[in-house]
Each structure stands twice: as C-alpha cells, then as structure tokens.
Amino acid sequence: MVYQKNILLCVSGGIAAYKACALTSKLTQKGANVKVIMTENAMGFVSPLTFQALSRNPVYTDTFDEKDPEKIAHIDLADWADFVIIAPATANVIGKLANGMADDMLTTTILATEATVYIAPAMNVHMYAHPAVTKNMKQLEEWGYHFIEPGAGYLACGYVGKGRLEEPETIINVIQEHQKVDTFLEGKKLLVSAGPTREKVDPVRFFTNRSSGKMGFAIAEVAAELGARVTLVTGPTNQQVSDSHIKRVDIESADDMYNAMHEFFHENDIVIKAAAVADYRPKMVFDHKMKKQDGIWQLEMERTKDILHSLGQEKKHQFLVGFAAETKNPIEYGMNKLQKKNLDAIVINNVAQEGAGFGVDTNIVTYINKDGNEKGFARATKKEVARKLLYSIYQDMKDDQ
C-alpha cells in the first residue's frame, strides 16, 4: 500500500532521528516516492544530505527557502502528499500541532495538508506519560491524526520503558494495514446531497445560506472509497471530488434539488440528505434587476418543497438519512425531524458549536437511528466523521435485514 505513494516524512529533533533514515530507505525500496522535512533540531542529529541520498529527493528544512519560485514550498508539499509520517515525533512538535502553532517548515506543512497524518512519538518514558503530552495526543486523535505507539525498551536516556520509536518495518506495517481500503459498502448504491441552494430574486440577486458542501462531499468520497457507487447532487460550491467514479450532478435551486433527488432516489440503497436547502424562496422572480428605491422593499416569500419529507413518503428499500443543523435544542429538534419525515436515521449537529459550523474542516455530530439508539462523535475531520457515520448506517442496515 506504499507502492507509488507520495509520502512526506517529517523528522523532528530526537535521537531516534537515525531510525528515520532506515524508514526512508525501506519506504523507497518498497516503491514509495519519499520527500523529507527536517526541523532545525533534527539536523543536529542527522545531516539533510543523508536523507537526500536515501530518498533521491530534495530535503526541506527552512520555510523561507523556496526552491521553486513558481510554488510555495510548504503548500506544494502539503498538496503533494498522499499521506504524512512524523517520525520521530517529539513532545515539542506534538504540542505545537495540538495548539495550532506553525513556526517552522514541518508545522506549517502539517497544518496545510489534508492528507492522512501518522504520528510516531519518541521521547523519555516520563515525558510520554506527562499529562500535557497525553492531552495533546488526545486532541490530535480527536482531529483525525493517527498515532503509532512507541515501543517499550531501553531508551537513549538510560531509562527502560515506553517511549522508543517503533521500528521502521513496524511503522510501515501499521500504515499499510490502515491504508487497506475496507469495502463494506461494496455493491451498494448511495445518493448524497451537498451544499446550499440559491433562490433567485432577479438576474443579479439571490438568497442562499452558509453551507460549503464539505460534509456532503466528504460523505461522497469516503463512500466511494468504501466500495459504494455514489451519486452526488450538489448546490453551488467550490468543492471538488477527487474520485472520478463519483457521479456529480450540479443544481442551483431547491426545485432543482427536489427533481434531482427524486430522479435518482429509487435506484439507490442509501440516501443521505446533507444539503442545506432553502426553506423559502421569493414568490415573484423579476426578469430585470430591481433598482434601488427610497423606503422599504418588501419581498414576499413562499415555502419550497420539503424534499426529505417527500422522500420519506416514497421510500421502500432505501435507508434514508437526514441532517439537522441546529443552534438551539438540537437533539429535540433532530428527533422530531426523524419521526415526522419517516427517516431511518438523523445526523444532528449544533452549528453554533466551535468546530461544527458551516465552512470548517471538522464536525461534531450525534447519530440517532429510528430505534432511538444514539451515538455521539467527537470533533474530527469531516472525512473521519463521514467514515463513522457510514459504518453506523451499514450496521443499522445489517440489523434491519
């Protein structure tokens, strides 16, 4: 699973940096394309030239050393990587990442990447057990970072205990196991909606909302990774799908969304309505731009069609999931929506909560199925949340059979 992958290896300043040399060599031997970032302290243990020779790629050590004037190096590396390994990861670099600090090439790149990040800590046994380090690792885990636990044994400081960087072969094996694509949605067809709608006022103006589409797109991409055949119906958004097998249908208004969802509804097994569809639209749409006038301009609004309710009335074999983005009494309103609209499950989030609102890369949700079974998912990347939601849906579908 590392063959032909772009792997960014980030080396921080610990004595275990010498093992990162062996890790670079083994990854390269397995056919991976490896690029290395080193902190200033890491260079006190190993020369950048060593990693350059082993990886056959330039080594990055300075945020301001731009090797290609047409690119910003840390952004380019962040986008280039299929996944990132921090090995060794010191208490210092773990603390920086957990607190959003970006003061060198390593931390700025990690904060900029959307690739999966694996962290292999290495430090003194007492440092590893310190409450601050434990808290920082827990925070990073909640955000979707993956830890490769250190081994126990004789440490460079003379202590014996947990804190030794795992062996390169073990690190690679752990990553390869994690990278194996689970295909529990193989053979399933999934329809998901995403983004906002736009309700036209005149040729210039429209009503919309703050939805970015990130959650719906994350669901579509993870479902495709899990083996599903995915149709994504999306309102206007800047999001792009990275999987060419996802069928994307672009719409604009609530009526467009209604028609598209009903068009594809009956051929799908799982239907997830994550889009933020307008509840109201202007009753009258003007053919020409409305000119500014003195006084108040009153615009009469009318209800749009309730897409989720209509799907709930028509569903037969489909597992239908709704989203409830609330700011007050989210569980109460979400449960009411679950029952009134004949859903199989509801995903509830308080968009006023930090890390769960529109436009951010993380989410915090509660999943409740029609039997009232409730699961809370702590703040994590939207892709991590999508994976947990899809697995919960899969389990509920199995229970219904």
DSSP per-residue codes, 26-40: HHHHTT-EEEEEE-T
Q: For residue 342, give the nearest of 373, 305, 314 by alpha carbon.
A: 314
Amino acid at 156: A
How many CA atoms lie within 13 Å of 286's alpha carbon, on the beta-carbon side? 12
For residues 89 and 202, membership in a common domain is answered with: no
For residues 78 and 151, membership in a common domain is answered with: yes
Residue 99 resides in a domain: yes
Residue 289 resides in a domain: no
Bridge pairing between strands 319-326 and 270-273: parallel
Which residue in the list 157, 331, 360, 397 is annotated as catalytic?
A: 157
**Residue 259 phi, psi (nearest 5):** -65, -45
Residue 37 resides in a domain: yes
For residues 160 and 233, membership in a common domain is answered with: no
Would you say 347 and 365 are in contact if contact means Cβ atoms under 8 Å apart? yes
DSSP percent split of the chain into helix, strand, coil, nearest 5: 35, 25, 40
Domain boundary, last residue among 179, 202, 221? 179
Q: Per-residue pLDDT tens for 361-385?
A: 899 999 999 999 999 998 888 988 9
Q: Residue 382 is part of which domain span?
A: 189-281+299-400
Domain boundary, last residue among 158, 179, 200? 179
For residues 25 and 170, membership in a common domain is answered with: yes
Residue 287 resides in a domain: no
For residues 125 and 211, membership in a common domain is answered with: no
Cα 354 to Cα 378: distance, rounded to the nearest angstrom:
12
Residue 334 resides in a domain: yes
CB neighbours of 88 closer than 8 A, spacing ≥ 6?
11, 12, 14, 16, 17, 19, 20, 120, 121, 122, 123, 165
For residues 16 and 162, membership in a common domain is answered with: yes
How many CA atoms lie within 13 Å of 260's alpha carbon, on the beta-carbon side? 24
Residue 286 resides in a domain: no
CA dihedral 218, 220, 221, 226 (to 10 degrees): 120
For residues 224 and 271, membership in a common domain is answered with: yes
Residue 277 resides in a domain: yes
Query: How many domains are there within the chain?
Result: 2
For residues 170 and 51, membership in a common domain is answered with: yes
Ordered per-residue pLDDT tens for the chain, 401 residues: 688 899 999 999 999 999 999 999 999 999 999 999 999 999 999 999 999 999 999 999 999 888 787 788 899 999 999 999 999 999 999 999 999 999 999 999 999 998 889 999 999 888 998 999 999 999 998 888 999 988 655 555 555 556 688 899 999 999 988 776 568 898 999 999 999 999 999 999 999 999 999 999 999 999 998 999 999 999 999 999 877 789 999 999 999 999 999 999 999 999 999 999 999 999 999 999 988 888 898 899 999 999 999 999 999 999 999 999 898 999 999 999 999 999 999 999 988 888 887 888 899 999 999 999 999 998 888 988 999 999 999 999 988 76
Active site annotation includes 10: no
Domain boundary, last residue among 136, 159, 179? 179
**Residue 84 phi, psi (nearest 5):** -120, 140
Q: What is the CATH number of the domain that holds 169?
A: 3.40.50.1950
The neighbouring-strand residues paired with 9 are 36, 85
Cα 279 to Cα 276: distance, rounded to the nearest angstrom:
9
Task: Give the length of the chain.
Answer: 401
Q: What is the CATH number of the domain that holds 370?
A: 3.40.50.10300
For residues 173 and 209, membership in a common domain is answered with: no
For residues 262 and 170, membership in a common domain is answered with: no
Residue 241 resides in a domain: yes
For residues 227 and 339, membership in a common domain is answered with: yes
Bridge pairing between strands 151-154 and 374-381: unpaired
For residues 128 and 219, membership in a common domain is answered with: no
CB neighbours of 165 closer than 8 A, spacing ≥ 6?
14, 16, 19, 87, 88, 120, 121, 122, 150, 151
Would you say 173 and 27 are in contact if contact means Cβ atoms under 8 Å apart? no
Q: Which residue has the tokens 């702590």?
A: 378
Structure-token pair, residue 230: 């995915």
For 106, the 3-state DSSP assignment is helix
pLDDT attached to residue 177: 81
Q: Which residue has the tokens 């495709």?
A: 224
Q: Per-residue pLDDT tens for 85-123?
A: 999 999 999 999 999 999 999 999 999 998 889 999 999
Whole-model pTM: value is: 0.62
